[in-house]
């Protein structure tokens, strides 16, 4: 969104006159649906007012002195040194103010870190560029990928109000329950942040950090990765659906059923047309960010699939780089742990017969065999 400089200055000024502030110039925190969120807001407001009062007193004294005691009105400067009383006062008062601010802030910071006695634990793993979630006790596991269509990103179709803030698989949690989020990452540092739930926690490769929240109201809360993590940093949003306990239970059951029964038949021989059609979807959801529409790539960083040495070479080599990733370049991740046998067979068929025309393809059963080698 483009905001002109004038509007920014105006909105900054309007912050000083709350009565005049306009609702759509959202300058404050996103209202949070957690009690901790409300406390964070309260501490912020308290510190803000302390700053306002200090600024008025200090700048008031300064400008008053400049104005009344200037040389041109004949003021004679007093000449004195080392007033112990004053020096003690201007050391003690700031210390008292700092401690008064640090006390509630530290207490609150510790409270946001307290993930003990949580009801549900979810591990959130950052990938370039999607989130993976695992409900540790329930055994539910899925990836959550940006759902905004490419046409909106490319400016071909109208952008919706949830532009870049929508995903295929949201995180679903029950209302009024303490949720513990464990964060980690697979490649670079990401950050799991949802303002409406007052949580933000870095996701660091090789480390597990945690943060907890308890949502008080049912609703949809949207956030984004908040650590600059590469080219598609703005394209890995977080969506948390806070629902009733019953809705949560039926969602968990549905997820477990889906996980138990794959949406494809592992022993079926699919036709090349079926695989290419399915593969185009897989490609657009997972590969298009780097290899681009039509597989033209962005050489030299992201190689073209169209006419690519591997993508038109031996099909085993093609399968290998997708299944296990590139040994030379970690940007080309191992997709084996992320995609199903069907998805892998489909995306290979699409790259070889949709983008290229090699004529050969693999079945899901071939992928399963390659995995168990």
Residue 181 or residue 311: which is nearer to ligand HEC going by CB? 311
CA angle 132, 134, 176 (to 5 degrees): 110
Q: Is 143 helix (H, G, I), strand (E, B) or coil?
A: strand
Q: Is 194 in the site for Cu ion (CB under 5 A)?
A: no
Residue 200 or residue 306: which is nearer to ligand HEC going by CB? 306
Residue 191 or residue 363: which is nearer to Cu ion going by CB? 191
- Whether 212 contacts 201, CB under 8 Å: no
- d(CA 225, CA 251) in angstroms, rounded, equals 25
| Shortest distance in whole angstroms from residue 212 CB to Cu ion | 21
In the set 173, 290, 319, 346, which binds ligand HEC (CB under 6 A)?
A: 290
Spatial CA neighbour of 287 closest among 317, 328, 332: 332
- d(CA 283, CA 335) in angstroms, rounded, equals 12
Spatial CA neighbour of 210 closest among 319, 120, 299, 293: 120
Quick one: which segment of 17-25, 36-44, 254-262, 302-310 binds ligand HEC (CB under 6 A)?
Answer: 302-310
332's contact among ligand HEC, Cu ion, none, with CB below 5 to 8 A by partner kind, is ligand HEC
Which DSSP helix (H) or strand (E) runs through 211?
strand 209-214
Phi, psi of 85 (to 5 degrees): -55, -50
Q: Which long-range contacts (CB under 8 A, 24 or more apart) does 364-369 make?
A: 364/264, 364/265, 364/266, 364/268, 364/270, 364/340, 365/266, 365/267, 365/341, 366/319, 367/319, 367/323, 367/341, 368/266, 368/341
DSSP one-letter code for 302: B
Q: Is 182 in the site for Cu ion (CB under 5 A)?
A: no
- Using CB under 6 A, count the residues that bind ligand HEC: 24
Residue 243 or residue 322: which is nearer to ligand HEC going by CB? 322
Q: Which of residues 101-160 bind ligand HEC (CB under 6 A)?
A: 128
In the set 172, 242, 347, 367, which binds ligand HEC (CB under 6 A)?
A: 347
Q: Is 329 in the site for ligand HEC (CB under 6 A)?
A: yes
Residue 21 or residue 189: which is nearer to ligand HEC going by CB? 189
| Shortest distance in whole angstroms from residue 296 CB to ligand HEC | 12
Q: Which pair of tokens denotes residue 264?
A: 């494809």
In the set 36, 322, 346, 355, which binds ligand HEC (CB under 6 A)?
A: 322
240's contact among Cu ion, ligand HEC, none, with CB below 5 to 8 A by partner kind, is none
- Whether 178 contacts 112, CB under 8 Å: no
- Whether 344 contacts 323, CB under 8 Å: yes
Q: Is 328 in the site for ligand HEC (CB under 6 A)?
A: yes
Q: Is 178 in the site for Cu ion (CB under 5 A)?
A: no
Q: Is 221 helix (H, G, I), strand (E, B) or coil?
A: strand
In the set 225, 238, 333, 347, which binds Cu ion (CB under 5 A)?
A: 225
Q: Is 130 in the site for Cu ion (CB under 5 A)?
A: no
Spatial CA neighbour of 149 closest among 176, 124, 167: 167
Q: Which of residues 229-288 bind ligand HEC (CB under 6 A)?
A: 286-287
8's contact among Cu ion, ligand HEC, none, with CB below 5 to 8 A by partner kind, is none
Q: Is 310 in the site for ligand HEC (CB under 6 A)?
A: yes
Q: Which residues bind Cu ion (CB under 5 A)?
A: 190, 225, 229
Q: Which residues bind ligand HEC (CB under 6 A)?
A: 128, 286-287, 289-291, 302-303, 305, 308-311, 318, 321-322, 326, 328-329, 331-332, 335, 347, 351
């Amino acid at each position: 969104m483009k905001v002109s400089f004038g509007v920014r200055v105006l909105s900054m000024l309007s912050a000083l006159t709350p009565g005049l502030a306009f609702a759509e110039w959202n300058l404050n925190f996103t209202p949070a649906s957690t009690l901790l969120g409300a406390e964070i807001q309260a501490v912020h407001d308290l510190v803000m007012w302390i700053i306002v009062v200090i600024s008025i007193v200090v700048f008031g004294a300064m400008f008053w002195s400049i104005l009344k005691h200037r040389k041109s009105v004949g003021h004679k400067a007093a000449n004195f040194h080392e007033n112990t009383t004053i020096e003690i006062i201007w050391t003690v008062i700031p210390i008292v103010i700092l401690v008064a601010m640090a006390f509630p802030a530290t207490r609150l910071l510790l409270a946001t870190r307290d993930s003990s006695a949580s009801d549900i634990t979810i591990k959130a793993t950052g990938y370039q560029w999607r989130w993976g979630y695992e409900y540790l006790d329930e055994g539910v596991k899925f990836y959550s990928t940006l759902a905004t269509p490419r046409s909106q990103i490319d400016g071909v179709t109208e952008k919706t109000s949830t532009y870049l803030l929508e995903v295929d698989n949201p995180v679903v949690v029950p209302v009024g329950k303490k949720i513990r989020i464990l964060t980690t990452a697979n490649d670079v540092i990401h950050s799991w942040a949802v303002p409406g739930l007052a949580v933000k926690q870095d996701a660091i490769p090789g480390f597990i950090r945690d943060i907890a929240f308890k949502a008080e109201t049912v609703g949809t809360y949207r956030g984004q990765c908040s650590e600059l993590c590469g080219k598609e940093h703005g394209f890995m949003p977080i969506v948390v659906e806070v629902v009733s306990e019953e809705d949560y239970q039926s969602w968990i059951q549905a997820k477990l059923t889906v996980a138990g029964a794959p949406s494809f038949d592992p022993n079926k021989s699919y036709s090349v047309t079926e695989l290419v059609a399915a593969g185009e979807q897989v490609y657009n959801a997972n590969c298009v960010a780097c290899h681009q529409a039509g597989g033209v790539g962005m050489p030299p960083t992201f190689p073209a699939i169209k006419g690519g040495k591997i993508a038109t070479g031996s099909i085993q080599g093609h399968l290998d780089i997708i299944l296990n990733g590139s040994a030379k370049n970690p940007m080309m991740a191992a997709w084996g742990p992320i995609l199903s046998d069907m998805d892998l067979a489909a995306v290979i068929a699409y790259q070889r017969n949709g983008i290229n025309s090699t004529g050969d393809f693999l079945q899901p059963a071939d992928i399963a065999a390659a995995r168990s080698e």
